[in-house]
Amino acid sequence: MLDRRRFWQGGLAAASVLCLPRLGFAAPISPGSKDVLLVIDVQNCFLPGGTLAVADGDAVIPVIKRIAPLFQNIVLTQDWHTPGHASFASSHPGAAPFTVTHLAYGDQVLWPDHCVQGTADAALSDHLDLPKAELILRTGYRQSVDSYSAFLEADHISTGLAAYLQQRGLKRVFLAGLATDFCVAWSAIDATKLGFKAFVIEDACRGIDTNGSLAKAWADMAKAGVQRIKSDDLRVAG
Ligand code: VGL
Ligand code: ZN
């Protein structure tokens, strides 16, 4: 006959196995030949001293440098606006930065002038040092259309990135960079919509957090099926 103690021990062991994934013991992930590290907008404009500095934004750089060697494929993005871009508050008389206006394609947060094409402010950070990146994709270069997403501009025109990744057989996208609640989140959500598996490496990102945007972005990403991981979840294969 099964004694009471053994019954409870067995029950507890089974319960703890069932609960483990929920407690956040993520299985290690080993990036392989079908995976790409997508480093979003690590540019002077979003770093301390830049025109749209993200608090603690430079903290992403050592994390990205530590995980980059795990990836065979790396793609960088660069926010690349025309002077007088439609996303700048200065282009809308009387409008203050960090307010929202309505443009032809929908709501648009109005930003301080930032990442203007060809300026030192728009340059990728010298500290990032990722010479092996195979593609630098510029976004937001159309005067009247913003593009938080690396895949689709705000009016849903493709940047070509999905086709590029598909042609190269890349299926899983690991995102890092700035800012979590805008370019990282929109890129991750569009990646999943376009059939890629998307992972956001949370300690390799920092957010702007205007009007609750950071919490909303994490909720939207979870709803879209984006996986939230930490850099420590990544391991060398084998
Ligand atoms: C970004 C706001 C405006 C970003 C770009 O890279 O997240 N945010 N432009
Ligand atoms: Zn921008």
Distance CA 71, CA 90 (A): 40
How far does residue 182's CA lie from ligand 1's centre (Å)?
Answer: 6
pLDDT, tens digit (0-9, with 9 covering 90-100), for 58-104: 999 999 999 999 999 999 999 999 999 999 999 999 999 999 999 99
In a mutational test of the pocket of ligand 1, which residue from 38, 39, 40, 41 has the highest number of ligand atoms less than 8 Å from its CB?
41
CATH topology of domain 31-82+114-233: Rossmann fold (3.40.50)
Q: How many CB atoms lie within 10 A of CB 225?
A: 12
Which segments within the chain are labelled E, that is strand?
Answer: 35-40, 74-79, 100-103, 106-109, 135-139, 172-178, 197-206, 227-229
Distance CA 39, CA 74 (A): 7
> Which pLDDT value is given to residue 172?
98
Ligand found nearest the CA of 179: 1
Confidence (pTM)? 0.90
> Which pLDDT value is given to residue 19?
45
Angle at 177 between CA 174 and CA 182, to 5 degrees: 100
- Residues 210 and 173: beta-carbon distance below 8 Å: no
> Which pLDDT value is given to residue 27?
85
Residue type, 149: S
DSSP state of 94: T
The full set of domain ranges for the chain reads 31-82+114-233
Res. 18: pLDDT tops 50: no
Residue type, 161: L
Backbone angles phi, psi at 132, to 5 degrees: -80, -5
- The strand pair at 197-206 and 172-178 is best described as parallel
> Which pLDDT value is given to residue 23?
53
> Which pLDDT value is given to residue 192?
98
